[in-house]
Structures are given as C-alpha cells and as structure tokens.
Amino acid sequence: MRLGLIGFGNIATAVLDLLGRDTPPAHVAVLTRPGSVDDVRRRLESDLAPAAPSHAVVTDAAGLLAERPDLVVECAGHTAATAHVPAILRAGTDVVLVSVGALADPELEAALTGAATEGRARLVLPAGAIGAVDLLSALGAAGDLTVRYRGIKPPGAWAGTPAAEILDLDSLTEARRFFTGTAREAATDYPKNANVAATLALAGAGFDATEVELTADPAAPGNVHEYSVTSPLANYTIRIENKPSAGNAKTSATTIYSVVREIRNRLGPIAI
C-alpha cells in the first residue's frame, strides 16, 4: 500500500509505529504544515523508519495526490478536513476521516459527499473509540430510533475546551456534567472530544436527534463512552472504558487501533 496521512500528530505517529511492527506500507506520504516539514522528515528517518522506508513530506493536497496514495487517512482536525479532503476524494482516492465530528457542519458534509460521488471514492468513518456501530447502523434502517450518549473523561482531557470555562478542572473532586445537548452541538463545541457522538449520530438517528451528555470525572477509569439505543428491532446499552492514548489524553488508545484496522482491512484477504 501507498499510504497518505493528513497530519502528523499523536494519532498519525502512533498508527505508523503500529504498522511498522508487521505491515509497513510500501510508501508513506505525509501532508503537514510548511513549518513542520523538517521535523516530520526527521522522525520518518529515525524512530518511524520501520514504517516508512520510502516516504515523502508535502504541504498540500496536490502534493499528496502526486505521491499516488492508495488510501489517505485524515487525522489533523476539522480545519484540515475542510481544506484537503474534498480535493482528494474528487481525485478518486478513498479517505478515512478520523475527525468525524467535522461532518456536524452541514456544508462540509455536503461538500465531502459531493466530492466522493464525483470522484467515485469512499469517505470511510472509522468506529474510533466506540463499538457496536454496525448494529446501530442496521437498526437505523428500521426508523423510530432513540440514541442517548454519555461521554465521561478525566478533567485533564477537557483542558482547552469550553468545559474549562464552566468548571475549575484542576480542583474538581467529583463528577460534574457540563454539557447536555445534541450530537451536532457537542461535535461543534468540542471538536477534539466528541467524535464518538458524531459517529453515533451518523450511524443512527442523526445529528439533531442524538442526545449527548458530557461529564468531567476525576474518578473516571479512562475515557468512558456509554450509549443506549431503543428501536422497534432491539434495545441495547454499551459502556466502554478506554485507556487514553500515550500522547494525548483527549484521544482514546482504541481510536488509533481502529484506524490501523481500517488500513489492515485494505491489505488482507479478509476484511473484519
């Protein structure tokens, strides 16, 4: 595989590290900011060399497409998804969109859908830190779906978000719910913390019908995701206690492995 990456933060580097252990791509092309090119190249030639024996570092979508990627993984946030993903889809290259919450913007959702249709490409939404998305999507076809999601993370995971303006995160001694609203509102206000809410909304009842609660809890065992589903076909509740990734408390470690699974599904004879 010739793999393209948009962004080179915690998720991208962790994905490359895992791929380098057993399934290194034939070529890796990284799209990064102009000021980061030298730093990215140094890492690709040092600790991440097993995953990128052949590599290129570019600064725009045209440069990334020139490297002829078979698959592109976006893991750089909403702004990068808006700036680069449409052109890649229009060129006919599939994209794994880690920043699923970006689709809470109706204009961007329409733009990406249109670009994928035009390029006959696919916009792939990984399950990320949540599970049973396949069942939720199947139940959604029957209609009359109710989905309630609750995200619980340690106070530090909410640093730098609007939660810090509502709560004194450093001195919190008990669980405090600070947000109640729709998945669209959660994904818009907490773009680095509410991708799970967006994934559930897209799989199930939609952004405006999916109910969301966000909580800061100093006793949280990690990044906890709970959701319940009621439908004419089945009812279920799921709770996942994810460990935070080593490089970013906002990101669950399972998100990284979910992206790796999407890549490996393209490489092996069986896709799970």
The residues annotated as belonging to the active site are 225
Query: What does the angle CA 261 – CA 238 – CA 74 come to, to the nearest 5 degrees?
Result: 30
**Unique residue bearing structure tokens 């009621």:** 230
Give the integer Cα–Cα distance in Å for 44 and 75.
17
CB 54 within 8 A of CB 60: no
Q: What is the SS3 assignment for 98?
A: coil
If you write DSSP's letter for every residue of 122-178 in order, what string do you get?
-EE---TT---HHHHHHHHTT---EEEEEEEE-GGGGTTSTHHHHS-GGG--S-EEE
* Alpha-carbon span 204 to 141, nearest angstrom: 8
CB 210 within 8 A of CB 147: yes
Between CA 175 and CA 165 the distance in angstroms is 16
